[in-house]
Amino acid sequence: MDFTFSESEEQFRAEIRRFLAEHLPSDWSDRAFVGEVDQSERSDLARLVTKALADRQWLAMAWPKEYGGLDATHMQQLIYNEETSYHSMPGGGGMGVAWVGPAIMLYGNDEQKERYIPRITSGDDIWCTLYSEPSAGSDLASLQTRAVRDGDEYVINGQKIWTSGGHTANMGWLAARTDPNAPKHRGISTFVVPMDTPGIAVRPLVNLAGEHNFNEVYFEDVRIPGENLVGVENRGWYQVATALDFERSGVGAYASGKRNLERLVGAVKSDPALGERNPRARYELADRWIELQVGFNIAYRIPVLQAKGVIPNHEASVSKLYGSELAQRIAGTGMHLLGLEGQVVPGSPHAKLGGAFARAYMNAASSTIAAGTSEIQRNIIAQRGLGLPRG
């Protein structure tokens, strides 16, 4: 068993670091961490970076060349994800590359592939995911948004919630009910919906850290062409389930967690009194470091499986669960280490490390809910990993 990267993989990592050094301001990651970057600065930089990545065909590098990728290995894709998360790179392929594109490649017809895939790899389309509803999250199959066939069109009515980036996306990947009389898993279909279609209203939701990342999306008699149906009508649930497996394979939580832990270790080194005042936090730092090594090895297993043609399932749930809970533990260690002043939010002169850990702590709360809660991941692992009966 060899846990090292090959020479060419290390060269590739160096190439990505050069790209990031050339395209991100040197203080970008630290300013982003303390929330000193406003929305317009972030979107401007995201646009530039996305364009530069698209020019290199790096946005979807692991995709086949015929779809605008580079046929890069899954391990190269992981290295790219790791470096870009570590450096808090804005922009990139987002949901289009992570799961909408792969789902269209698997289930879409030739016309849909020709139409949507090149616009994902060029960075022209930004996608959001329209699955969750006020009464359908973990039990997604109970979703109620209706798509009713009317001649050559579908008419959509209903409400989605927690739509990340719904306010910046121009394209939506929608799961809606097409057969209300069928068993709930068998009456769902997936659609492509341009977000500027008349009848769509996007309303902001502000999280507990005061940030606007997700939204409510309302559909009122929204008409889309029948050709926007992706895959077989009423088989959408199974397509969504596969798309969720793509979603949960990320190494990002470990890479950004590593950066945060390094910030805390750096703070203790530059102010030893901090560590002396909080002797327990010193052991916590050591524990988090060990957990990061474990987490990286879990994440590195995913591209190895992908290279063998396996779509990661319970293995991806292990990575998502451990990474999101570790992100919370690292933020919690920051709060313990920095003490009461660590709880002061950015903007106050009394805030330790610019208040970044207070912000990280609040933001990390949602990481064990997004993309399927920890309980749901544990159910998947128990059932499909351990072979236990359904709970």
Distance CA 262, CA 266 (A): 6
Residue 183, number of CB atoms within 10 A of its CB: 9
To ligand FAD, the closest distance from the beta carbon of 10 in angstroms equals 33
Options 57-65, 75-83, 238-246, 375-383: segment touching ligand FAD (CB under 6 A): 375-383
Options 28-36, 159-167, 237-245, 253-261: segment touching ligand FAD (CB under 6 A): 159-167
Q: How far is CA 117 from CA 101, 106, 352, in A?
A: 6, 12, 45
Distance CA 233, CA 275 (A): 59
- Position 375 contacts ligand FAD (CB under 6 A): yes
To ligand FAD, the closest distance from the beta carbon of 116 in angstroms equals 18
Residue 223, number of CB atoms within 10 A of its CB: 14
Q: What are phi and psi of 370, to 5 degrees?
A: -60, 145
Options 8-16, 128-136, 194-202, 352-360: segment touching ligand FAD (CB under 6 A): 128-136
| Element at 32 (helix H, strand E) | helix 28-33
- Residue 305 or 370 having the CB closest to ligand FAD: 370
Burial of 389 (0-12, 13-18, 19+ CB in 10 A): exposed
The dihedral built from the CA positions of residue 67, 68, 71 and 77, taken in this order, carries a sign that is: negative
Distance CA 338, CA 266 (A): 12
- Position 214 contacts ligand FAD (CB under 6 A): yes
- Residue 141 or 369 having the CB closest to ligand FAD: 369
To ligand FAD, the closest distance from the beta carbon of 260 in angstroms equals 17
Name 217's bridge partners.
160, 202
Distance CA 354, CA 126 (A): 32
Please tell me the count of residues contacting ligand FAD according to CB under 6 A.
18
* One of 73, 132, 256, 319 touching ligand FAD (CB under 6 A): 132
- Position 168 contacts ligand FAD (CB under 6 A): no
Options 102-110, 148-156, 161-169, 198-206: segment touching ligand FAD (CB under 6 A): 161-169
- Position 144 contacts ligand FAD (CB under 6 A): no
- Position 211 contacts ligand FAD (CB under 6 A): no
Q: Which residues bind ligand FAD (CB under 6 A)?
A: 129-132, 137-138, 162-164, 214, 366, 369-370, 372-373, 375-376, 379
